[in-house]
Each structure stands twice: as C-alpha cells, then as structure tokens.
Amino acid sequence: MAETLIRLRDDSASTAPVVAFADLSDTANALAVRLMPGDDARALLPLLGQLELVEVAFPGFNDGRGYSAASILRESGYTGELRAVGDVLVDQISHYHRVGFDAFAPDQPITRAAIDTAIATWPEVYQRTVDGRPAIWALRHG
C-alpha cells in the first residue's frame, strides 16, 4: 500500500512538535527540527544528543543540498530519525538511503515495496558513505 510516511526504523516515530530551523533559538530543548535547503546542518551539531527527528525538506527533488546536510549529520554521529520530506521520488531513494536517510515523507505516496526495490538498485557501491556498505575498493583489497 502506498503511504505518506515510510520509516525504515524499529523505534516509534517522534511525536514532538517539529520546529523550523529558523525558530530554534526560541525553542529550548527542541526534539524535532526541520531543515530547509539553505539551512546549515552544522548548526545542529550541539543539539545532536537531544534530537530524535530531523526532517530535511526537498521542495524540489533536483535541489541536492539536503544530501550534504544528511551526510554531515550522520558523519557527526546523529543516530535519530532522518526524514526526507517533500518532492521525494522513487528514483532518488537509493541515493537518499546512501547518505543516511531512514524515513521518507513523500508528497506523492510511494509503496514500501518500491522503496525496498529502489534501495537495492546498486549491487555494489564505489564510495564509502555513512550507510556502512563496503566500497568496491574495500571488497578488492579486504
């Protein structure tokens, strides 16, 4: 069945109100935040211990800044939910997954089966990223 929120996590979804990045300074102890493409993900680093949900907005699927935002958060040790929100399409899911997204809230519903198929697009990968898959160079050289 096509759904509007697909989570690849076992924990339950955060119920905390989602605070816009721009309003963070007014909200002490925010648990959930939304980044727009121009927001600096590194500004969230001091909050990583408390955040349980970061939404990364894709107003248009072809604005790729959110991929770097996701990578930076995961590289910095963020383990909470990382949700791609907006113009999220099945043909970009494999890349989203590789940079650390583990939840999707697409404007147009996508089936869980389509998500799983998309994630399996690449039998192997050339780069080491935050998804933990071994890069092809690691397979070659052990």
Partner 1 sequence: MYQYDTHDQAMVDARVAEFSDQVARRLSGALAEDQFRPLRLKNGLYLQLHAYMLRVAVPYGTLNARQMRMLGDIADKYDRGYGHFTTRQNIQYNWIKLEDAPAILADLASVGMHAIQTSGNCIRNTTADHFAGAAADEVADPRPYAELLRQWSTFHPEFDYLPRKFKVAIIGSDVDRAAMKLHDIGIQVVTNAAGEEGLRIHVGGGMGRTPMIAPVIRDWLSPLQMVSYLEACLRVYNRYGRRDNKYKARIKILVHEIGAEEYRRQVEQEFAHILTLGLEPPPAELARIKAQFADPAFDRAAPVAIDLSDPDFALWVDQNVHAHKVQGYGIVTISLKPTGGIPGDASADQIRLMADLARDFSFDELRVTHAQNIVLPHVKRTDLHAIWQRLDEAGLATPNLDLIGDIIACPGLDYCSLANARSIPLAQKISARFADVERQRDLGELKLKISGCINACGHHHAGHIGILGVDRKGVENYQLLFGGSEGADTSLGSIIGPGFSEDGIVDAIERATQVYVAQRTDGERFLDTYRRIGTAPFKDAIYG
Q: Which of 3, 13, 47, 95 binds partner 1 (CB under 8 A)?
A: 95
Q: How many CB atoms lie within 10 A of CB 95?
A: 16
The least distance separating partner 1 from the CB of residue 25, rounded to whole angstroms, comes to 21
Q: Decide whether 7 or 95 has the Cβ nearer to partner 1.
A: 95
When asked if residue 133 is in the footprint of partner 1 (CB under 8 A), the reply is no
CA end-to-end span of the chain: 41
**Pick from 73, 81, 79, 83: nearest CA to 105:** 83
When asked if residue 123 is in the footprint of partner 1 (CB under 8 A), the reply is yes
Phi-psi region of 75 (alpha: psi -120 to 50; beta: other; left: phi over 0): alpha
The least distance separating partner 1 from the CB of residue 66, rounded to whole angstroms, comes to 9
Q: Which of 61, 73, 82, 85 binds partner 1 (CB under 8 A)?
A: 61
Site residues, partner 1 (CB under 8 A): 37, 61-65, 67-68, 71, 75, 89, 91-92, 94-96, 98-99, 121-129, 135-137, 139-141
